[in-house]
Structure 1
């Protein structure tokens, strides 16, 4: 019976990337690629030839219709079971840049398919064109067998954001996918990919070889720069001009005011990207004065904001004051974070006095005062939420794109926060904290080490090595148990530590992510409970000869088996959670490492099971040599039996060592990606 469960394990382990997160599929029509269509495949060029793509762009240009290009987009959901999603192709004049991209979106929404035109500003800012069908005709689409297909025709000449896009000239091609909601695009789960070289889409040249793609940085690199120290700042009472040069909030940091910077400790290297300064207003008791500054590298609407939290440096339950540039306006606008999202408040500008503000295309700056007790009122609470910073509070600094209405969008990078609560009248240097991200990384690292390495080795040893190394029993305990017990004990301890860490990090709201978005929390919790049961059940293990021992063995094995499957599935899902930027940073790389690990571990289980079946037949064939010494009368006076070593023992030992090394390698690879992710 156990080998039936073994096959179930193999299927679930190897296919969990398909069950819980989509991988490449083979149903794309690629036979005409390079023949009647030019093709670009995501995530690599080889996927076109093999038909193993997650996204596929096909385009065709005919001289008989010089003003149009036929386009087909094919793609799978970003996650298995996703309801509404989008796939898109974009064209850009600049290399490795999401900003400045003219996008054609293929969107699936509630059983319908449509195509829209949009334009990417800085970072994650994507806005539909005022005429969202501009330059797009002949639209058709369908979703069949979990493959979304859109066919449409693009005008060769198009214009967006005062920029011309001629498909007859070389352009960089960008491809991406993500979830959708009510026809609107939500941020992609994995970084888009871009061609390293420009392609001429409307070309009469022979069909081109399938190009390679490379990950596109969704947050544009910010060149090192020092905010100017003596620029004129426009008085808040005057109209805002886009040509003015904002002042700088660096002067007096740690001398006359406290400061928080991104990146931390950027003064000496002169690479500050965003700065918050704060102090108690000496002229108005009960008031605090703040300055917000950020560097701007792309046109569009932007913000830099401070988050105020009285209890902990958490995004949830924090008040926000943002210096926002939108249209021709610069203003300080209040909002609130009820959870890991931002909402508008009814009293956006109440009791906020802006004294200086400015935006010149290179930097954004605001200086303002407000009461030390600030209320935030809205539908998120029955009564206004009051945050008092008169004593001590945690401060957070974030920046990112804004909507044309002035509402802030998701920050471009993980916000930075003070490690401890600070006083508004303190000018001492503050220590910034990456604690939230580090806690996520610690949780992930512990769980990966526990279940990829410790549990995999411990379970395999208990299943197939009980009859091995029986000539040695240190302290009266068999070798296999010397391996199994500490490995599984450490796996449970690591799981407990990881659970405590994530419980602290989320304030007990570890199920805040709904299963429809990512089932990692609930699946991980079930695996954790099952894992916790194992050592408790082991305390009641009957003696080897007891009547209930077989029942215990089956129960112990079954619970451990289910626990391991769920834990590996939870790791797949955890790597794709937005709180962990590993999936955004490295695309499918960590997923394929997990697939390779699952395939290898399943293969080893198959091979060891085959050996288990073969060994009994080898034992039957094992020859026994009888050595007889015969005296002169032909009588036997001595008989000796010489037995060979146990069949398969050397092979199984070498397989155990190889499994240990390879599983350790896969585990280290995932741990490294977790450690270096942003």
Structure 2
């Protein structure tokens, strides 16, 4: 799931390359070519919260999937307790260092949309959000850096209610946050004081029970009673620690899921309509404080999974032993009317991924996810299937670039450098060494061009998440085409303009 990528868990929350320059005529030093190829193979990805939390405006609840904390350490203060329409009130949110926040003003009963708008004092640490189509009606963080105090102005609208209450959600860590921290209530002059409604104690939400697995999963029923996905194919999680294992066992109306693999962070799998990350039904098992949390989620694009309620899951259990994480749960085959949970009577591609996690937040998978070669119905006939971390088109892309730049180019360079004095016999009108050299370089050009196209075919267009590799690939392809054009207009050896050609050729090489 290109993620399945950085994400969460606890009581909730769950690329490639090669392109090179082509030289039709002159020799390319091996170290230069090798270094350039290595450069193309390197990429890095970073992902940080940016405070664009408009989706959480109404409920003010982070989509982290964890249970909010009680007894908030932060508090809200105001510069004055009364206001008139059009006035500005300074609002301060302060407390121990925190990473994220969301600040809003509501009516006294906390119903309806945010009231009024805010003006920033320090735009480096805070930003305005548009909530409920009201511009600037909320304030949030701009980065995950620690901050201990946020100051803004609240602008009272002309239609403000008699009483206004400020609320804040504060995030200390991904799995530690406080929701709707109450602030002071400010009132318009000459109105009856606000009477706090009698408090009612709401029961704390209960989490589905989770048990501990007493023994490891095994592959004895794969292809017989279980639909299994394994890597390596035919491995047994009971005997091989490196075995990545996912099984589905159907009964009348539900499916028992077992997942196992080496991980110190998280394991996850997802059902997908295609071989792309996004719009998928995903499940994550995350290690936190020596406990494994099992969390359903869904993927929207190449973003972090959005954690969903664990209510659809039953019979959850987990086990940690020898660096291997195992988790199991049961879910219904169908969930009529429930978003994000797929109907398992249909066929899907299946993704398997793993990676690091901290504080209940999962990070980008450590390698390309394992993806099944075809769509499968896990509730149909039991099968024993495998998958690949690299899809066929990308493998062909890599193979073509390897052949082009480690074989045809290398041989072409050797021919031009060492065989020029001895292969002078004419072949089709030119020296034999030159004809062989030219053929090899044209082959390199053709292979490079085909390999250049394959990632675009695979991705269906430009991949904005692949780092600088696509840009380097485009530069390489442009230089390769220019080199071909230069070679096409190559003057005779003793022509006065041949020096210009040689200089141009060396420019492209270096």
- TM-score normalised to structure 1 length: 0.39
Name the residue aligned to 2:359. Answer: 404
Query: Within 5 A, what are the aligned runs for 1:128-277?
Result: 238=209, 240=211, 245-246=214-215, 248=217, 250=219, 252-267=221-236, 270-271=239-240, 273-277=243-247
Name the residue aligned to 1:343. Answer: 304
Q: Does the CA-based 8 Å contact 1:249-1:275 persist in structure 2?
A: no
Q: Deviations over 1:306-334 (max 9, x none)?
A: 1222112x445544211334336544313
Displacement of 1:359: 2.5
Q: Does the CA-based 8 Å contact 1:292-1:304 persist in structure 2?
A: no
1:320 aligned to 2:286?
no
Correspondence for 1:521 among 461, 466, 470: 470
- Structure-2 change in CA distance of 1:489 and 1:338 (3 Å): farther
- Structure-2 change in CA distance of 1:237 and 1:534 (3 Å): closer
Runs of 5+ consecutive residues of structure 1 not aligned to the other structure: 1-8, 22-77, 83-180, 185-235, 377-383, 566-678
1:292 aligned to 2:311?
no
Displacement of 1:488: 0.7
SS of 2:439 mapped into structure 1:
helix
Runs of 5+ consecutive residues of structure 2 not aligned to the other structure: 1-27, 47-142, 147-206
- Structure-2 change in CA distance of 1:374 and 1:334 (3 Å): farther
Query: Within 5 A, what are the aligned runs for 1:445-464?
Result: 445-458=399-412
Name the residue aligned to 2:433. Answer: 480
Name the residue aligned to 1:357. Answer: 317
- Structure-2 change in CA distance of 1:395 and 1:553 (3 Å): farther
Correspondence for 2:329 among 367, 372, 383: 367
Q: Deviations over 1:583-604 (max 9, x none)?
A: xxxxxxxxxxxxxxxxxxxxxx
CA RMSD of superposed structures (Å) = 4.9
- Structure-2 change in CA distance of 1:456 and 1:11 (3 Å): closer
Length, aligned pairs only? 325
SS of 1:343 mapped into structure 2:
coil
1:494 aligned to 2:494?
no
Structure with higher helix content: 1
1:419 aligned to 2:373?
yes
Q: Deviations over 1:162-214 (max 9, x none)?
A: xxxxxxxxxxxxxxxxxxx9889xxxxxxxxxxxxxxxxxxxxxxxxxxxxxx
Q: Does the CA-based 8 Å contact 2:273-2:348 persist in structure 1?
A: yes
Name the residue aligned to 2:269. Answer: 306
Displacement of 1:477: 2.9
- TM-score normalised to structure 2 length: 0.50
Structure 2 CA distance, aligned partners of 1:359 and 1:481? 66
Structure 2 CA distance, aligned partners of 1:491 and 1:375? 55
Q: Does the CA-based 8 Å contact 2:226-2:248 persist in structure 1?
A: yes
1:13 aligned to 2:32?
yes
Structure 1 CA distance, aligned partners of 2:219 and 2:39? 48
Structure 1 CA distance, aligned partners of 2:336 and 2:217? 25
Correspondence for 2:385 among 419, 431, 439: 431
Structure 2 CA distance, aligned partners of 1:455 and 1:13? 13
